[in-house]
Chain A
Amino acid sequence: MAGQGNPVPSGRMTPYTPKPFPTVDGAVQHRAFIWSSIGTKIILAITGIGLALFLPVHLAGNLLLFAGAESFNRYAHKLISIPVLVPIVEIGLLALFIIHSVKALMNFLANRKARPTRYAARQWAGGRSHKTWASTTMIISGLSLGAFVPIHLIQMKYGPYFETKVDGETVRDVYKVVVETFANPLNVAFYLFCMAVVGMHLYHGFASAFSSLGVSHPRYSPVILWVGRLFGAVIGLGFFVLPIYAAMVG
C-alpha cells in the first residue's frame, strides 16, 4: 500500500471521473457576445481594421517629408486646423487603441490558460497552414506597438515646439521636430524596429481580421490573405524610409 503522500498506488489507475453532462437548458452560464471567444475576435477585428485604416492616411501625409519643410509644415498646419473632425478622429483612434489592446491582452491570457501544459516537442503543421513568425508573435508585436504609440506621441505631437512661417502665417515647424528627433541614431534604430513590427503585425492581422469577421471564399480568401501581407509590407516599408531620410537630411 502506498503512503498517504502518494495518491497513485503503483500499477493501479487513479479513478477518473469526467465532468457531468450539463442539462440542455441552462447548460452554460449566459455570456454576452462581447465576452465570448468569437465576439472577442470580432471586436479585435473591427478595432484592428479601424486602426490599420489610419496608417495609409498617416503614411501619405508623412511622405510629404520628401517634398521639403514648407510643404510638410503647410500640410501639418492645414490638417490640425480642420475643426471638429480632428478631435473626433483622435478620440476614436484612442478608443479603438484601448479596446484593441485590452481585448487582445485578455484574449492572450485566456488562450494561455487553455493550454497549461506545453509540448516537449513542437512542430508547425506546414501544408495548408498560414502560420508565420508574424502570426505567432502577434502579442509581442502588439505589446511593442502599445509601447511605441505613446512614445511616438510624446516625441512628435507633444514634442518640442518650434515656429516657422508658411505663406506668411506662423505655424509649428513639425519638420524640424522630425529632423531633430532622427538626428539621434537611437531614435532611428527604435523607429526602424517599431516599423518592422507594425508591418509584421499587419502581415498576419489584416487578413486574420477578415477571417474573424466570417469572410471566407474559396477564390477571394487567398486574395485577401496576400493583400493583407502586401499591405503589411507596404506600410512597414513606407514608414521605414522616413526615419532614414530624416536622419540623412539632418
Chain B
Amino acid sequence: MVAQSRPSLKGSHSAANSMKIRLKVWRQKGPDAEGTLVDYTLNDVSPDMSFLEMLDVLNESLIRSGKDPVHFDSDCREGICGSCGMMINGKAHGPLAGTTTCQLHMRTFQSGDEIVVEPWRAQAFPVVRDLVIDRSAFDRIIVAGGFISVNTGAAPDANAVLVPKQNADMAMDAAACIACGACVAQCKNASAALFVGAKVSHLALLPQGNPERSRRAIRMVQQMDAEGFGSCSNEGECEAVCPKGISISNIARMNREFTKASFGGTH
C-alpha cells in the first residue's frame, strides 16, 4: 500500500493569506449608558473564520489585556437560531444575501478593510450592552397571537387534516423565519411587518391556524404597534437582507388578514 500524505492540519490559514481587519465596534456599557464606536485592529484574521469567530479572537485579546470583551449574542452558529444579528457596514447580517452573521466568513472581506459593527437599531429593540439588543418585543408579539389551540391527547390521523401542497409550501416558507430581527434593523422605519407577516401567514395558511385566525391577525398587529415598530413602506429591504429569504408577499397577506379581521372577523 502506498502511504497517503496527510493534508496539512494548518488548513489554509498561513501568514501569507492572513488578513488585517480594522473594526469600528459599537461599545455601550448598559442600556442607559452613552455608546460610541471604538476602533480595533486585528492583524491575523484567517479568511476561513466566521464573522463571530473573528469577534471571538478580538475578545480573546481584549480579555488577555484585561479589557472588557465585546458583548454579542450567538447560539447555534449554524445559521438557524436567529441570535446573532448585527449591522455590518450598514447592512443587516453583512454583505451576503441569505446569510446570518455567524455564517458570514471573513473571506467576504478584503485585507485592510474597515468594518463598522453596530447593534440593530429600533426603539422596540433597546440595546442591552454593546451589540446585544433585547428582542423580547418579538416574543410578546408571539404571545399575543402566534399560537394555535389543540386538544391534548391522541394526535389526529395525519390524513384527517388536509392541507393543499401549495399552502403547505407557503406556510413552510413563512415558518422559516428565525426571528433574528434583521428585517427591523434594515427597514428605514424599523418596521416588524416582515416578521409579523411571516408569523401571521404561517398559521393563516394552515387549517390548524384557522380557529384563531382573525383574533391572531388583530392581536399580533396591535402588539406590533404597541411595541413601537414603524409601518411598512413596501421597499422590500427586509426581504433582501432576510437570512431565510422570507418574501414580502407575507406582508401583503398580513394586511389582507388584518383588514378582513377588522371588518367582520370574530376576535
On A, residues with C-beta under 8 Å from B are 7-8, 10-11, 13-14, 16, 18-19, 21-22, 24, 27-31, 33, 36-42, 107, 110-111, 113-131, 135-136, 138, 207-208, 211-218, 221
CB distance from B142 to the nearest CB of A (A): 10
- State in angstroms the CA–CA spacing of A30 and B233 once bound together: 24
What would be 25 A-B contacts, judged by CB atoms less than 8 Å apart?
Answer: A14-B31, A16-B31, A18-B134, A19-B140, A21-B140, A21-B143, A24-B219, A28-B144, A28-B219, A33-B263, A37-B193, A37-B221, A38-B231, A38-B258, A111-B190, A114-B123, A114-B189, A115-B188, A121-B118, A123-B90, A123-B91, A131-B235, A211-B234, A214-B255, A217-B249
- In whole angstroms, what is the CA distance A212 to B252 when docked? 7
Assess whether B62 is interfacial by the CB under 8 Å rule: no
Among B224, B239, B240, residue most surrounded by chain A Cβ atoms (within 10 Å): B240
Residues in A with CB closer than 8 Å to B87 are 119, 121
A114-B230, A115-B190 are known contacts. Are A7 and B32 too (CB-CB below 8 A)? yes
Contact status A130-B253, CB under 8 Å: no
Given contact pairs A111-B230, A123-B90, A128-B239, A27 touches B225 in the complex (Cβ within 8 A): no
Q: Is the CB of A126 within 8 A of B240?
A: yes
Residue of B nearest to A14 (CB): B30
Interface status of B81 (Cβ within 8 A of chain A): no
| B residues less than 8 Å from A16 (CB atoms) | 30-31, 128-129, 134
Interface class of chain B by DSSP? mixed
B249:A218 contact, CB within 8 angstroms: yes
Counting from the closest, the 4 A-B pairs by CB-CB distance are: A14-B30, A216-B252, A114-B230, A125-B240
Chief secondary structure at chain A's binding surface: loop
Known contacts A13-B30, A13-B129, A115-B190: A213-B255 contact under CB 8 Å: yes
- CA gap between A29 and B225 in the complex, in Å: 10
For residue B48, CB closer than 8 A to chain A, the reply is no
A125 to B129, CA, bound (A): 26
Minimal beta-carbon separation of B224 from chain A (angstroms)? 7
Is B30 a contact partner of A7 (Cβ separation < 8 A)? yes
Q: Find out whether the CB atom of B191 lies under 8 angstroms from the CB atom of A114.
A: yes
| Beyond A8-B29, A42-B259, A128-B97, 6 additional pairs, beta carbon < 8 A | A38-B221, A110-B230, A122-B90, A123-B89, A125-B237, A128-B240
Determine whether the beta carbon of B234 is less than 8 Å from that of A212: yes
Chain A contacts of B259 at CB under 8 A? 33, 38-39, 42, 214
B230 touches A14 (CB 8 A): no
CB distance from A191 to the nearest CB of B (A): 28
**CB 8 Å contact bits of B28-57 with A (1 = contact, 0 = none):** 011111000100000000000000000000
Q: A16-B31, A129-B237 are in contact. Are A111 and B143 (CB under 8 A)?
A: no
Residue in chain B with minimal CB distance to A18 = B136
Q: Does B222 interact with chain A (Cβ within 8 Å)?
A: yes
Q: Are B223 and A22 in contact (CB under 8 A)?
A: yes
B116 at the A/B interface (Cβ < 8 Å)?
yes
